[in-house]
Amino acid sequence: MYEVIASKNRLEILKTLSRRDRYVSEIMEICKMDGKNAKHHLNVLEESGLINSYQSGRRKYYRLSGEVHLEVSPPPGGRFLFYVSIPSDEKTGDD
């Protein structure tokens, strides 16, 4: 999962989708990506289970399906906490 969120572009997409569902053209514009690049990152995120998609009319919308938590704090008592929470029904694609 580290590899999935290690990309600046994918983090930007996750940030964008944290506000509301978006269709591809909106994601491209907000994240300043071309279509091929956006589609690549959306596919990686969808395959990981962090996002899923649905069709509404002619538009394909993407939405968050899980949560990513990262907490890093300095010593003393420093800690590194990283976890992903994806509901089991989202992993299978069942709605």
Rounded Cα distance, 27 and 24, in Å: 5
Give the whole-angstrom CA distance, residue 53 versus residue 70: 24
Enumerate the domain spans of the chain: 2-92
**Topology (CATH level 3) of domain 2-92:** Arc Repressor Mutant, subunit A (1.10.10)
Tens of pLDDT, residues 51-94: 999 999 999 999 999 788 888 899 998 888 888 888 876 544 44
The answer, as to whether pTM is greater than 0.75, is yes
**Cβ(17)–Cβ(23) below 8 Å:** no
For residue 90, give the amino acid letter: E
